[in-house]
Structure 1
């Protein structure tokens, strides 16, 4: 598989996942929806590994990689599932839009990347402003939005940390093996958490079942396979740039399929976050180009 194709798959999957998470939790507890998704995806993964003859290692280094992967796959995702009960799918995607900034800041300390320039710090402030504007109206409408904001925000940080720590591991593993091993470890973790948080199943609608199956095949198996694949070939901060595109698609899907309201604050906040990402990744180049043009103009005079 080519890296651009895998990157496109991740964009499409991450754009539809917030809505799928909400639908898959209708009629059952959030943990029950996540557990069913992980269990079925693990079965699908083992089947694919057997057919493709890909070995799934269980030595110490492999277990360490699976554990690091579950910082996002288990800790992060369970927070997103619970938080999805309190905020819209569009807001989930907008909040995850800041994951490139979080990844870049964390990479500065974990991967020893160079310090931020002035334009990058300006981008961080711009993104925070966009986040505050996006959630200001929702928080005024319902106090539960605070809880959803904190849970999904913490989940976003877990995904960012997980991606960075995986890049630190020297062991080279097949993306399918990493996907299957991580899903296999996630399944009992969700089952254990369900004993404390509840695994209630009230009623299952066709839409709920379809959402679980979609998240099983695309959100968990194919999505994480492509995610680990591009993470292997790209920088963690570059992979996180996927979220620059997903908010627009996710908000549109939430409005069309879930009847979610688009507030002016949400639109303005999403645009500010997109502008923040553009400034963060291309601001230094624009400043350097402007300096070269100014120098050239002065020489011509």
Structure 2
């Protein structure tokens, strides 16, 4: 098992990547159709992942349990990202990250109703407060960067992401993190290819801008390869609820990154709603945050 310091550094790296990836996604679709950006992301990431796997001489299991684990892991990639990319037309990068901040609540609900895990009273209260904050954002007006359809798409994305954590842990296949990441990227690529009949009419007819290409490269190398390695490493070594805490720490950072680098102007009501959501999440995970501060991961 990795050392505590190793897990802490992996955890911190994943938080930074999760905070910066939404803006990279938004920039990558600035000169590409969202679904083409998604497809290209996986088509480029797959051979890179296979190359890393071969270079490191990591065993790639293909038994039934491993294949099922790859499918489960793909829910956090293609299953989640297809809704995220679709939401880029309706939400700012900061709000996309904020919606992922609801993953702990979604994970809690899945754990409660699918796996009969108990929730304390303050956790239900935290959920209620976060929902109030989300409602404030939905009612903030039909701004360019805040549209209800985007919020619905992100809720579906967060559900897929949260379900993936539980499913991978339930399968508990003996698969190394890099092999798990590669297998999940492979399944995601095959699923993304199924989109071709519906998106062929939007095939790129010109070379995208430098910003779009650099953002696409970031989503491939950092968000798909490095992040997935960190993610599956943590999935195998931490509780699902503890892993979900990454999304509590990223939203405000992502909002600041979007405001500074992408000039995303959001209303006071949206910021108030975001603050209420984060307060609800803090209340929901107060005990876990206290334990994390004492480094008991």
Give the TM-score normalised by structure 2: 0.90
Q: Deviations over 1:65-104 (max 9, x none)?
A: 1111122211211110011111111111111111101101
CA distance in 2, matches of 1:51, 1:283: 42
Residue number in structure 2 paired with 1:120: 123
Question: Matched residues in 2 for 1:7 and 1:24: separation?
Answer: 25
For the pair 1:40 / 2:44, whether they are aligned, the reply is yes
- What displacement does 1:147 show? 1.9
Name the structure 1 match of 2:294: none
Match of 2:293 in 1: none
Q: Identify the match of residue 201 of structure 1 among 197, 200, 204.
A: 204
User: What is the aligned length?
Assistant: 284
Alignment CA distance shift 1:184-1:206 (3 Å)? same
- TM-fit CA distance, 1:14: 0.6
Matching residue of 2:57: 53
* Structure 2 portions without partners, runs of 5+: 291-297
Instruction: Name the structure 2 match of 1:100.
Output: 104
Answer with 1 or 2: which has the greater Rg: 1
Give the whole-Å Cα distance in 2 for the aligned partners of 1:127 and 1:31: 30
Normalising to structure 1: TM-score of the pair? Answer: 0.89
Aligned residues of 2:100 and 2:247 also touching (Cα < 8 A): yes
Task: Quote how far apart the aligned CAs of 1:26 are.
Answer: 1.6
Q: 1:171 aligns with which of 167, 170, 173?
A: 173
User: Partner residue of 1:299?
Assistant: none
Equivalent position to 2:156, from 147, 154, 157: 154
Cα 1:135–1:169, aligned 2, differ >3 Å: closer, same or farther? same
Partner Cα separation in structure 2 for residue 248 and residue 9 of structure 1: 16
Question: How far does residue 143 in structure 1 lie from its aligned partner after superposition?
Answer: 11
- Residue 231 to residue 193, structure 1, CA distance change in 2 (3 Å): same
Shift of 1:250: 0.8
Out of 283, 287, 291, which is 1:279 matched to?
A: 283
Structure-to-structure mapping, 1:122-271, within 5 angstroms: 122-138=125-141, 140-141=142-143, 145-198=147-200, 199-203=202-206, 204-271=208-275
CA contact (8 A) 1:35 1:191 kept: yes
- Distance in 2 (alpha carbons) for counterparts of 1:259 and 1:221: 28
Q: Quote the Cα distance in structure 2 between the aligned partners of 1:285 and 1:62.
A: 32
Give the Cα–Cα distance (whole angstroms) in 1 for the partners of residues 244 and 259 of structure 2: 24
Contact 1:27 1:202 in 2 (8 A): no
Deviations 1:161-211 (A, max 9, x none): 111111101322100000011111111211211322445215400000000
Distance 2:172 2:222 in 1: 28
Q: Which residue number in structure 1 is paired with residue 91 of structure 2?
A: 87
Look up the match of 2:12.
Answer: 8
**Which has a greater percent of helix?**
1
Q: Is the Cα contact below 8 Å between 2:90 and 2:145 reproduced in 1? A: no
